[in-house]
Amino acid sequence: MTVGIVGLGLIGGSFAKSYKNAGHTVLALDTDDSILEFAIMSNVVDGKLENDKFKECDLILIALYPTVAIKFLELSAKFMTNPKTTVIDCCGTKKNICIAGFEAAKQYGFTFVGGHPMAGTEQSGFKFSDAELFEGASMIIIPPEDKVNDIEFLNGIKTLLAPAKFGRMTVSNAEEHDKIIAFTSQMAHLVSNSFIKSPVVSGHKGFSAGSYNDLTRVAWLNEEMWTELFMENKDNLLHELDLFITSLREYRTAIMSGSHGKLQDLLAEGKLLKEQVDRRNSGGENS
């Protein structure tokens, strides 16, 4: 098949390498011409995704920040007039891009599906892209409302995404996605980034192990991208942040008051919730 990649950063570059390795034709766009030229010289990309090439693509993956992805659709959707073309965005928030994508698809006749590959690294940019980045990971998709229970349609999307080697495909809607992702992803980055600001951190060497490394791994983030994602999803993120602050206050009160019993109960409660969640998820889910 012919695949169009819009944006050759970590995600777009990794998709380009995955599809090229699988023997497909890859066309691409990037705001930095030198990145696109390097990708072509490296035989990762076959050529530039010109306006007249959009309708030749079986699949177009938009790997841009949400506001830029919406702007791209506003400018380029008119060239995607092939009903056999499927466009999938890769944004970390879904509400606004899905509104724009479904509207453009209805107007110009292509198929739009919201997407969010649950994979990444602390590094960003094409130089860190990896053909195996998505292997075994979950790909969240937001299909059109009338296709949510269409097995044939969903299998078609799974086939289009097969070269990336995702471990599962999770079907959701934009509202549910943004609500859950505020907890599973955005809060993790926010907590990690704030935790690292203790003045003690400069002397942690020799005093830290797995727990420190796990908690601070995603403090090293792309501040431009995450600022946009946090602001795009601020209502859901603020809800989770308020819950977290309330919970932390309970721990603080128990410690400050010297209440061993209360602190032990709080710790046992968290441990039990973690055990329950892990047990529930260990049975596996259908992809």
Kindly report, residue by residue over 236-275, the tens digit of the pLDDT.
999 999 999 999 999 999 999 999 999 999 999 999 999 9
pLDDT value at residue 82 = 96
Place of tokens 């039990």: 272
- pLDDT of res. 283: 66
Q: Is residue 287 scored above 60 in pLDDT?
A: no
Contact 57, 27 (CB under 8 A): yes
Instruction: State residue 285's pLDDT score.
Output: 43
* pLDDT 10s digits, 114-157: 999 999 877 789 999 999 999 999 999 999 999 999 999 999 99
Residue 283: HSE in the Cβ half-sphere, 13 Å Cα cutoff: 5
Is the Cβ–Cβ distance between 175 and 165 less than 8 Å?
Answer: no
Query: What average pLDDT does the structure give for the chain?
Result: 95
Angle made by CA atoms 264, 268, 271, in degrees to the nearest 5 = 140
Nearest alpha carbon to residue 129 among 272, 256, 251, 18: 18
